[in-house]
Structure formats: C-alpha cells, structure tokens
Chains A and B, each alone.
Chain A
Amino acid sequence: MPIKSLETYLFERGLVGAYPIESLKNSTLGIDINHYVSRLLSYKKEQFLDAIGGFPTSLKMYLESDLKIFKEYKITPIFIFNGSMTYNQLESNGYFNASAAEASASSNLEISLGSGSPPGSSTPKTSKELLLAQRHRGWTQWSNLMTSNQSSYIDQPIQPQEPFRYNSVIELKRYQSDLINYFIDHDIVYQVAPYCSWIQLAYLYDNGYIDAIYGPTDCLLLKNIEKFILGMEFPNKDFRFIDKTKVLKDFQCTHEDFIDIAMAVGNDLQSSTLPPLQIYPNSKIFDIALEMFLSTGTNFYAYQLSNPIKEESDKYRQRYEKGVSSLKFMPVLKTNGKVELYTYDGDNSGTSSINDNDNNNNDNDSATNIKHKKDTVSTSPSSSSSSTHEIQSDIPNDVHDFIAQQLPSEYYFYRSLGLVTGKLFDAISTGIYPEEPPLDGGSSDSYRELLKLSVDMFKNKDINLLTQPINRYFQMKQIKQIKWFSPNYPTSLINRTSPSLFEKINRIIVKTQDKEKQFSIAELIKLLSESSDISADFVSEEVIFPNSVPMEKKLSTSFDLLSTSMLRVLTQLEFFDFNIPTKSLKPTKLGSVLLNLPKLSIDDKHYDSILLLLIFLKTKVMSLSEDVKPSVRSALSDVTLRTYPQESQYILLITRILTLFQINQRPTNYHGPIDKKTLIFREHLDFIRENMNEIYEATLISSLTANEFDRLSLDNFEWQSKVVRNMPFKLATPNTIMAMMWEFFLQKYLHNGNVKTDALALVATEFGTYKSVPNLNEQFEHSYEYLMQILKVLKELNAIGLFDRKDLKIVEEALEFCSNAIKEQEN
C-alpha cells in the first residue's frame, strides 16, 4: 500500500514530472509488480473475478502490450514480487486471526463508496475488510436479485449488478505462480523479494543491477533513491516520475520529517493511520499531516508518546516504531545469494562485517564493477547526512520483532525463484497458519470439514518436512492453524514426528538420467505404470543425501528431481504403500486407479485435474451429487428446478466436474452470469490444489536442502525454466466459466424444446463469447471429451469400491443427457 493520499497530492502540487518512454531506451527497469498490477487492473477491471475464480485473464493482455513497448525501446524489465510480510503488514492484513474480525465485520459493514463519506463517520478500514465486505455485498445483491426475479426467470440467466471487487487491489499472491510462469515463458527476469519488493528494488538500484525503479510512492521513504517512476502511460508512450529532492523542497521538510509524516498517515510498512489524523478523510490525509507539520512543527512520533491513554499510545507507538525500524532494517536478497538486512549507508562501521563479506564474495563479479562505480557517485550525497548514521548502522537485537524470524537463506533463495509460494515459510516464522475465507465466504460445512482434515493430511507433513532441515528452534516452535470462523480455537500443528517424515520417504527415488524429459504428472504415471516392479525400480538401497555419496548417484536432472518429489508426495497421500524394512513400494487401491490412467487413454493434460478429483473424493467431505450445507441458491431458475428435478441433478454433477476444466479463452474482462454454487465447489478443489502445492513444495525443498540434488548444476534461469516451470499444482484452479456455460446451455436446451442452436446462441450472447471464445462449439466438444474421460475414471473407482454406485449411475445418465444435447446438431 503506498503512502496514503500522497499520490494525488503530488499531482495536485505538480510534483510529478513526465518524460517520454524513449528516454528510458536501453535501460534496465526494476518494476515493483504489486504497484504495476495495481495500475493495470484498476478497480473497474475484472469486477466479477472473485465470483468466478481463476486467473484474471485480462492481466495477460495488458502485460503483453506493455512488454511489447518495452521491447520496442529495448528496455529490460525486471519484475520484483513481494515476499513475506513484516509484522505491521501481517497485522493490518488480519494475518494473526485469519481475517476473522474482518470477515465477521464484512456482513454488517456499510462500505462508503468512494471518498465522499463525511469525515469522522467512518472508522478507517483495512483493505482486507473492504475486500471481504464487497464480496459479501456482491453475493447478497445477487441472491436478492435472484429472489426478486424468481417469477420471471426461466432460462435467461441473470447478470449480477454489484461488482465483487471495489477499490481493492487484486490479491496478487493468488496469481503469483501464474505470472511467474508467464515470465518464464516470455524470458522475462523476475525475482521474489524476501520481504518488501520496493526495498529490494532499492538494493538492486544501489548495486547497479537496474537503472531505474518503477514503484509506489513509498520509494520516497528511501534515502538512496533520488528519482523513481511512479506510473507509465503506455498508450501515450510516456511515464511519470518523482524527483525526491524536488518533493522535499516543495514540502519544506527533511527526509526524516517526511518519514515521520508518512508513518503517521500510513504507508506500506505501517498501514494504519495514527492519531491525530484518523478523523480526517482518507483522501486528504497527507495534505493535512503536512500542514500540521509545517504550521505547528508537529512531530507525530512525539504525538504518540504524549498520548495520555496508555493502551492506545502503546499500540500506535509500536506500530510507528516497527514501521520506521522495518524501513531501516529490511532484509533483502543480496548478490551473494544471502538474505541480509539492508542498511543503505553501508559504508558505516556498524555494518562493515556484513559488507565485507559481501565484497569478498563478489570480487570476481562483474556487478562489483558497477557497484564501485556507483559507490563513488553516491558517497558524496550520503556523507552529508551523517547525523543519522549512528541510528542506521547499529542493528538492534530484536529485528525479528518487527520483521519476522529469520529463515535460512536457502529457503529465501527458493522463494526468490518462485519455487515456493511462501505461505508455509510464513507459518514457520510467525507460528501461525491462517485459513482465510474462500471466495464464496466459506460457509459450507464440507469446506470447513476439509480444513480440519487438511491438518493431518497435509499441514503436519509440510511443517515437519520444512522444519526438519533448519534450526532446532523451529522444530520445537508451536505453529497453529487459525481459522477465520473460529479464531479462538486454533489447531496446533505437529512439527515433530519420529522418525521424521523425510526419513520415511527418502529412499523413494526416481532416476531416469534423462536430461531432455520434461516433468509432468502424466509422464511420471506412465513411467510408473510401465514398470514391472515398482519396488525394485523406485526404491533405492541407500539414501543419497549424505555428502559421501558421489554426485553421479544423486539426482541430476529436473525430471528426476520433480518426479522423486511427486512420488514421495503420492506415497504420503497413501496412493502408495511404502514399507521401509522390506523396501517394498506398492500402489494402494487408489494408487492403482492412478496407474491405470494410461490404459484408459486419458489425455495427458487431464492428469492433474483427475489427481485433484481423486484426492477430493478421498477426503469424503461431500459426494459429487450431494448438495452443499447450508444450502445455497442455485443459478438455475426455480422453474427448471421444479419442472426438471432429475435434469437439475445432472446439471449439478456436470458443473462440478467441469470446475476443473479451463475454457480456452482470450484475455477479457469477464462480465456475465455467475453461480455461487459452482464457485463453492470450485473453492473445495482449489483448497485441495493449494494444499497439494504446499506438500509438493515442502517435499521438494526437503529433498533439495538434504543435498539429494546437484544444486550447482543450474543457474537461476535454468532453475526457473526447468524446475519452477514444470512444477504441478502451481497455477490457479480454472474459473467456473465452462461449468456455467454448460449449466445455462442445458437449461435453455430443456426449456426450448431441445434445440441446441438456440441454447448455444444464448450462451454465446450471455457470456460474450464472440470476443473471448472464438470457437464455442469446439470448447463444448473438448469439455465433453473431458467429461467422458472422468466417467471412465469414476467407473474404475467404482470397481474398487471408492465411488458410490448410485452416484456413478447419475453421472452416466447425466453424460448421456449431455451427449444428446450436444450431438443434436447432426439431425
């Protein structure tokens, strides 16, 4: 979050300069992707995203056109993602109670749209609160709309009136992996910062890796950044920048004064507005704070100190102090691959130890040359501000209090590549694994049951795998799962098991030595199913992690690395039964279904979805035909439900299975019908996907840190393209569009005398497919094939008693119904 209201104020005062993009020609531009995306997807775009789930496809469209311009001017963009949050950020994001307060408030929170609210009437709300409240409002509006149209709605789906996103920034974390994959595919450099992205950018800038920063107004807080780019106007081919000297001069304040003001009004590192500013409208807050400072010399820190109400004073003072301190001591990923605190006048005695290391490590590095050059330039300005040096150079002993506990640099390195999403890292360093409400609000019993099951099924294992290789402290540390609906009853996660999980699985090894092979679940399953003796082929006589094991015996290709981890995950999830003493690895009933997939000639691209579906069925929280409890209004009309109860049941089943099918659509801003019931089911599967991703990441990291893989064999770009790019379960679960298309197609088909063309035409208009889906027919056919393949799998499951006979029958009938509808054209 940028410094509140500062940006508009800067524009008002004319402190934002403009240059043509051309003047950045041939430069390297460091981009804070949070800031960048917040510009791309302003609140008017992707308004229904949270009602359908999935990746905001229009983002790719914007990215593509922007990258084209970068290319035209030979500008090399370096995208930096945010990493973990600092204490203040965690707090303001409701991390410590899984947004419980925000979620409960959301139902009765009256959102004041825009800034037109009278001052003093609204308490400052966090962005999380607004986000949840807007979703709540969207769904309420939608169900009201459905109710009021009950009588008239037959087969023409109702479009929602209320957006599901308003004035809130898109949660980039949800799509980080999708973006990273996009960057890898387009050969774009990215990096995930250990903590704050714009401070990482400052480090990169300081060391000559980038020539300019494109970041939020928070960059003004940085001492060493003189100019930075605030916004790019790609259509006009120019950009807006801020010159700090000019700004401070105009504000008539020093750098320290500016920090004081920024901390009081709220910024990225301290996002709450401190007294006495809370009573003023948000849109003017910086203006007012500056006025106070100029006219009465207000020091806002002193103000917090003098607050007579002890409790409040403490709270605000701490936030202020943590904010300032995290600005001064922010961990960044340094050239040498280590994550260290960044105190940017590093030539000081206090930090010399760190910097000496740094220099030693870099001696051969070409970056050092640049660095030296830069140093000579920057020494003169920094020496003038010697008065603050003592404060910045001394690193206090409780940095973990305002940042978070330190994890090994290796972990941060994996995160910088995008190999891990980092939620588990945060859980380890903060002691809390928050479960926040899903997109639909998460009121269904089955979802909550799923949360409960996930502790044993996934989280305990994740934590064990990740804490085992690191400092003993973390193995003892209490880590709790906190759920938004009952924040006061946390579930403790068990990080210690004996023997450790890694010891139980480390003999499972896939070793093909095939350098060319690209990992996918399908490839692995095929490999496994082709094996005549799985135990002999995939269980190693001895462990391969000790240093004494020669390199040849270790894993060397990305396929082997990823397959080994996948097989270990499948073993942990009881697809395989591994007996350590006898060294036998056997597929369980469920596993045998998986191994049978190649025989069923299942399309390679559906393996991931099928695996997710199998795990969902394994949890048994809800059968495919079961309604959600408490019941939610279907998007089907009452007429349909009443007249065609059997067909409605079919439709329900089909839509559920289809939530795992991603329609092939062009980037668009989706505006069309929505369906909460389908979304709820999607959220179940998304939850499983996320947990699968986490357990996979944890298993992979445990293997990497144990030294089972030659980590020196890959450079950063190879790590990204060979390992990160091929990891499963990373991409966002498909959105509900295909499912809804079928839903409304079939409904229309039922009501319209079984005429396919009319039904298809309805879908085409309602979903606006003329621009997003060029060949609608084809998509229907593809999804139909997918449904047929799922049917085969379900039959298999039924054969081994894992899928209910009755349900299978319904699915079969439903598919027949579908095939009648879709094949009708031939007549």
Chain B
Amino acid sequence: MKGNFNNKKSEPGGKSTGFFENGETTKNFNNRFDYLMTNSVGSNVFVTVSSGITYEGLLVSCNLESQDGVDVVLKFPKVVNSSSKVDGDIEKLSNALGSTLIINGSDVAELELKDIDLSLEEKSEHSQTPSTDGNKAKTTSPTASVLAAGSGEFKTDVDISSRKEFKQRELERWTPDEGSAHFAHNAQTLEEASSTWDQFAVNEAKFGVTNTFDEHFYTTKINKNDPQYRQRLKEAERIAKEIESQGAQGNIHLAEDRGIIIDDSGMDEEDLYSGVDRRGDELLASLKSNAKPITSKVNKYVPPTLRNQPHHMDPAIISSTTSTSKQMGNTSNDVKETVVLPPTNQEKVAKKEKSKHREGSKSKISSKEAQIEELKKFSEKFKVPYDVPTDMKDIFKKQASVTTPSGLKTDPSLPPKPSMSTKANTPPVSKSDSKRNVGSSTHENQSGAKGATHSRKRTPGSFFGSKKPTVSSAIKKDLFRRSFNMFIKAKENYDEKMKEKEEQESTVDTTKKTKEDKVMEPFFIEKPYFTAPTWPNTIEKSYKDLFPDQKTLMQKAQVKMQQRAQMNQMPMASNMNPHLGVGMGAGMMRFQMGGPAPTSPMMNAAGFPGMYMPFQPQPPMFYPPMGAPMMLPTGDMEGAELNGPPSQPVSPRIPPAYMAAAGGAPQTSPMGAFGYPGAAMPFQPMMGASNGVVGGGMPRQYNQHGGNGGHHGRHNNYNSHGGNHHHNPHHNNNRTNNNN
C-alpha cells in the first residue's frame, strides 16, 4: 500500500485535497485510512522520507491527528534505501540509528505498508493458532479457546467470535465419482433426472437407516374405495383443469408454481423471482399488433396524450394494472404468444368499446375521434419490444396460423378468468367478455397508456423524460441533407403542385378534351431580387409600440407585488404607513446592498420583521436607486450623473433633510428624481384601496406590523444613512423573507 499521506487529513468541506467529494465521503475515507493505519501497527513498514531514504521497521505507533501528514514511530529501523548514491552515508546512518525511530509527519514522503491484514477474523485467528497448539486443546468453542489461551485477560465479543479459522483451499473442479458415472451430465437436477431417485432406499442401503415415513401423518388419506370416489376425482380434475387452463397470465411466478416450463432465457434472477413485472402493456400491445399485420416499424410509439403523464411513471400502478391474457398452457410458450380470440367483428366492437372507455376517462384532454385515431395508430405502430428468440419465431408463426388474434384482455383487477387454450377454436364465453369490457376500462387505459414509455430496460437516466427521441439519429441526420435547401424544397413544392394539377386536369380531360390547354409553367428558382430589404410584417406598428407604456407596466407591477406579498404572507398593512419616506428610504438601502459580500455580521435586520414591508408595494420605491447609488462610498457615476455635475461628490450624510422631503411630499419636485416621475402619484389611491381590503383581511398582521414596521424601517434607514453602511444584512434578510 502506497500513497502520499501528506494531505490526508483534509477537513470535510475543505479544498486542500486533490480528492474531494463531499464531507460525508471524505469522512468515510478518513475513517478507512485510520482503520488501515491502526491495523498496520505491529507490521513491518517501509517509510521513505523526503530526503529519499527509505527505512524499514516495525510500526509501533503513528499519530493520525497530526496536521501535516502522519507521524510515524518505528522500532528496529533499518535503512534499506539503495537509490541514494552515497553508500557511505547509508552506513553512517544505519549506525546512528537507535532501536526506535520517530519520523515527523512532514518528513514522510511515502509510507509503504506490506501484508496488512484487514480481515479481523484472519488476524485474530493467526494469533489464536499458536495458543491452541500449545494447549493441544482441540476445541472450537470460543469460550474454551479463551480459557485455553490462558492469558486470563478478558476477551471482548469480537475477540471471541472472530476466532474461527478461515482458510481458503484451492478450488478444484468437480468430477463425478466412478460409481456415479451413470448420471447424465445434463440431468443434474432432480426434476430432470431420467431415473427415479429413492432417497429412502439409498439411505437404507448406505447407512442402514430405515424410514418410518408415512404420508398419512401429514395428509388426508384418500379413500379410493369410496363409492363417490370416481365422481370426486372427476370433479377435482375438472377444477384443476380449469385453474391450469387459465394460464399464467404471463406471470412467471405463477407459471412456475404450476409447473409450466417457460422460456426463461434472457431473464435474470431478478426478472424471475424479484422484479416487478412490467410487461403488461407490451403484451397488451402485442395482442393488438397480432390483430393486424405487424408493421416493420421498430420505433416505439407513444400516444401523445399519454406522454407527460407522471402518474404512469409509478411502478406500483403498473404492477397493479399489469395484466395480459397470455396463455401459458403450451410448454414452449413465448412471451409473444397471445390468447385466443373472438371473431374479428367482435373484436372490432370490443375495441371500439374500449376506446370509448378510454375516451371517457380522458375526455378532458381530447376528443373521442382523435383518441380513436390515436389508438389505431398506436396499434398499428406498436411492436413488442422483446427480442424473440429465433427458434421461437417458427413456433409463433405456426400458432398464429391456428389462433385468431384478439383485442381482448382480462381485467387485471379481477381474478384470472379462464382463457381459451390455443387448441380451442370456439368463441369465448360472452359473459366474461362483457364483464371485462365493463369493468376494466380505466385500468386498461392505464396499462395501455404506460405502453412504450416503460420498457423493461432500466434506462440510465431520463433526461428526455417522456420525450425520448423517437426517430433514430441517422434518419435525423439525413433530414439535413435535403431540408433547409430552398432549391430542393421549391422544386418539391412545384412538383407537387404539378401533380395536383395534372390529377385535376386528368379528371377534367375525360369530359372535355383540353389537353392542349395544359401549359406547364416551367419551374424557376425564385430570383433573389424579389426579396425586399424589410422583413414581412403583419401589423403596421413599430416594435416599440408593442411594449406596454409606463402606466400599464406599473399597474402590472403593482398587482404583481401585491400577489407576491399575499403569497409570501407579507403584511400589507404596512401600506397604511403614512410615512412614505420611510419606505422610500428603506428602498434605497436595498439598492445599496449590492456589496460584494453577502454575508455580513450585521444581521440585525432579522430583528425588524416589518422592515421590508413598508416599501414593498408602494410605487416610489420601485425605482429608488436613482438617488440611492450616490450613497455608496465608492462614488458611483450613475448616481453622480443623476444628481448634477458628475464631478461633484455627494455626501453620504445628506439624508435627513432630503428624506423628509421625499417622505412628506412625494409629489414635490425632489421626489421626481427618485420615483417614477409623474407616474408615482396616480397609484397612491389605488394602493390605498387595495390595502384596505388586504389589511382588513389580516388584522393580526396589521397589529403586529402596522405601526412598528414603519418605525423600524425609519430607524434602520436612519442608521444606514447616518454613516453605518450595513447594507448587506438587508440583502440577506430579504432573501430569507422571500423564501419563506
């Protein structure tokens, strides 16, 4: 084990290491490292120091807490380095070495740990072995071994439980014994074994154990002499048949229970015994695709209405709705195989009905016709996304010729209904049929819906969500060959027109003979001089007119602010605050907050819950920074320009007088520079009105903040302009407010 440990002790969240994932991972790695070091105490290690000399020695101790690397203590150190050029030095060094060598962490360049035992079992076992040998006590009991060790020390659970031998022996290939050579290689399971195996007989022959087994200890004895025995047997057989003939519904677990051998090639253990069966939809589709000639389209088609439906993503729903009437009676059944089916006319009816149901549940989304159309498309284009084993194809073909396809399927919510075996050509029981159609509509809908969106494969990510690319990229690439080419497109367009024309005329021709009139207008590529320098427009207006004017804009902003305030449960009551200037001032502060450091110790803003309220909904403070930037000690140009000759610096201590002016009479001339000039006032009444409503709705908040909010605001404002430029707290507080 090698590595440079100098940087090993990075604090979680620190950036000093090259390796950094997150605090948790770093911690894990540190723990591992500690574990490693602890385990290596007592073993022989090689330490290379920064001068290039390597020492070998017994690791006695190491300091894991040291900040720069790992301090190491070696017993019986030896210099083993050969890379150093001066041999004499090494000798000198070796002579100078005592029995203990302490190496400072910062000097350790490399620490090589060899043969470190990291498994507890092995390690303790090694230490145990000599002791057991010494006592010749052949006991494996932990307690005994503790006693046997005779050390008299107290052993912890770990010490004890870990004392078991773990030796790995060479693995050997199993070869059958001479005597058992008659076992066929392919008959290795009991079920497959050709000869019957009697365990009892073997036991008796080999070990002389006679069995006392009587199955009637466990089961009811069948009275074969009963007069009704034959009748009962018949009845039982009938029931059994009925159950078995239902097939496994595509459920592998069921199929296995019933002893049906299914083709499980291509399935892993999870598929077989653990995973949620998600093929229902695909099988459903396969039923349909069987009803029509299978199109060669490979791409999965997702009906548009079914995309973007998050509830179909829920695997729970899928499993609950998974159902197919796949028939498993035949031993060589394949996933593709379908049930037997009613005559085609019936199928159509069923289908229609089905789509009605579908439509009923989805009527909000689109019209019935569109739905039916979609479904038709769906059924045409869908193909089961399974790879069919090649040998299955023949079987499938054969069976397809025997069976009639059907669009029916069972209701997954109902217990499995008997379905027809492949051999049965009789029409299905109408009862179950109708029942199915009535009861299953919504479920069917869903199982069909999730359709292709859920393939069996687990996709590595879902960046595309339900809009997974449907057209292969090769095709798409080819689209660029002829699209975006005005010549080709114009020609195509022209050809089409000509074709249309020809068709029209040919119909006319039969009645009148106007063939001579048919003058083909030749195809020309549009001359470039037809293009005007201006772009085609639809309205005689300038783009500037498309922007809202100031008034509407502000109204909008007002409304938005109110909504926001309500949304955030901000007390609107503060609007009642007559001291406009306060809001004004607070607003200004807000704009100064843009300092580079968002974290500031001046978090006192939190102490003023009403602080931001006052200026939120009021028009003048939407645009206060006109005046505000000049407050910045950094001397902003913008502010300077606005307030007169740019060269004239504005004192940050101005405020009191000007605040009063702004607050007391917003409509006076100084105000004009800070708010919406002219536009500020008209909104005052409106705000007042809406405040009334809102305020009334929240009396409590009104009480809480109505008066005080203003006060705090002013207070704060005063502070900020009085020289304490703590802008940042506002920044922060603001954000938290909004996030609440």
A contact set with B: CB distance below 8 Å: 19-20, 22-28, 74-76, 78, 118-121, 123, 189, 191, 208-212, 227, 241, 252, 275-276, 278-281, 284, 287-288, 291-292, 294-299, 301-303, 305-309, 312, 321-322, 324-325, 329, 331, 333-338, 340-341, 350-351, 353-354, 360-367, 370, 373, 376-377, 380, 391, 393-403, 405-411, 413, 416, 429, 469-474, 547, 705, 707, 711-712, 715-717, 719
Contact = CB atoms under 8 A, between A and B. Distances in A.
B518 interface: no
26 contacts: A23-B461, A26-B469, A26-B472, A74-B473, A118-B634, A252-B738, A276-B626, A276-B638, A279-B632, A279-B637, A280-B594, A295-B734, A295-B737, A296-B615, A303-B623, A306-B676, A324-B547, A337-B490, A340-B536, A373-B304, A373-B470, A397-B537, A400-B534, A401-B543, A409-B531, A473-B532
Given A308-B673, A367-B479, A716-B480, A337 B529 contact: no
Given A210-B476, A291-B735, A306-B677, A406 B594 contact: no
Contacts of A351: 538
A473 B525 CA distance: 21
A134 B483 CA distance: 43
Contacts of B560: 297
B531 A408 contact: yes
A361 B489 contact: yes
Given A377-B307, A471-B533, A547-B522, A297 B622 contact: yes
Contact of A337 (B308, B484, B534, B624): B484
Given A191-B480, A308-B677, A350-B538, 5 more contacts: A75-B473, A119-B594, A227-B465, A297-B622, A399-B535
B130 interface: no
A274 B371 CA distance: 51
A27 B486 contact: no
A71 to B, nearest CB: 11
Contacts of A287: 598
Contacts of A210: 476
Contact of B679 (A227, A306, A329, A401): A306
A78 B480 contact: yes
Given A212-B463, A297-B557, A406 B532 contact: yes
Contacts of B628: 276
Contact of A405 (B471, B489, B533, B735): B533
Interface of B: 304, 307-308, 459-465, 467, 469-477, 479-493, 496, 522, 524-547, 550, 553-554, 556-558, 560-561, 564, 587, 590-591, 593-596, 598, 612, 615-617, 621-626, 628-629, 632, 634-639, 641-642, 672-673, 675-677, 679, 731, 734-735, 737-738
B522 A308 contact: no
A299 B550 CA distance: 10
Nearest to B532: A471
Contact of B471 (A118, A119, A208, A394): A208
A53 B178 CA distance: 83
Residue among B465, B467, B546, B550 having the largest count of chain A Cβ atoms under 10 Å? B546
A28, A306, A338, most chain B CB atoms within 10 A: A306
Contacts, number: 329
A351 B593 CA distance: 45
A392 to B, nearest CB: 9
A366 B470 contact: no
Given A297-B622, A299-B553, A393-B538, A715 B488 contact: yes
B677 A120 contact: no
A295 B738 contact: yes
A550 to B, nearest CB: 12
Contacts of A26: 469, 472-473
A291 B490 CA distance: 51
Given A402-B543, A716-B484, A211 B534 contact: no
A635 to B, nearest CB: 39
Contact of B623 (A302, A325, A711): A302
Contact of A211 (B304, B464, B679): B464
Given A252-B738, A296-B615, A394-B538, A473 B528 contact: no
A653 to B, nearest CB: 47
A28 B477 contact: yes
Contacts of B538: 350-351, 353, 393-395
A292 B623 CA distance: 10
Contacts of A334: 484
Nearest to A361: B493
B529 A19 contact: no
Contacts of B476: 28, 76, 208-211
B492 A325 contact: no
A32 B75 CA distance: 64
Contacts of B462: 23
Nearest to A18: B461
Contacts of B528: 408-411, 469-471, 705
B101 to A, nearest CB: 42
A336 B477 contact: no
Given A295-B616, A296-B616, A408-B531, A308 B626 contact: yes
A212 B464 CA distance: 8
Contacts of A380: 308
A22 B458 CA distance: 12
A292 B731 CA distance: 9
A277 to B, nearest CB: 8
Nearest to A70: B473
A301 B551 CA distance: 12
A334 B486 CA distance: 9
Contact of A712 (B488, B542, B558, B642): B488
Contact of A397 (B477, B488, B541, B615): B541
Contacts of A309: 641-642
Contacts of A338: 486
B469 A28 contact: yes
Given A74-B473, A302-B554, A308-B626, A296 B492 contact: no
A76 B598 CA distance: 44
Nearest to A25: B460
Nearest to B737: A295
A367 B481 CA distance: 12
Which of A23, A333, A401 has the most B CB atoms < 10 Å from its CB? A23
Contact of A191 (B484, B529, B676): B484
Contacts of B594: 119, 279-281, 284, 288
Among B463, B527, B533, max chain A CB count under 10 A is at B463
A306 B636 CA distance: 19
B463 to A, nearest CB: 5
B531 A407 contact: yes
Contacts of A396: 537, 539, 541-543, 545-546
Q: Nearest 8 CB-CB pairs, A to B?
A: A337-B486, A23-B461, A408-B528, A76-B473, A120-B634, A399-B535, A297-B561, A408-B531
Contacts of B591: 276, 292
Nearest to B480: A189
B634 A716 contact: no
Contacts of B558: 297
Contacts of A280: 594
Given A19-B463, A76-B474, A278-B638, A377 B531 contact: no
A369 to B, nearest CB: 9
A385 B172 CA distance: 72
A292 B481 contact: no
A19 to B, nearest CB: 4
A773 to B, nearest CB: 33
Given A76-B474, A276-B625, A400-B533, A209 B480 contact: yes
Given A337-B484, A360-B493, A393-B538, A120 B473 contact: no
Contacts of A227: 463, 465
Contacts of B596: 118-119, 281, 284
A172 B737 CA distance: 44
A668 B304 CA distance: 50
A220 B584 CA distance: 33
Contacts of A120: 632, 634-637
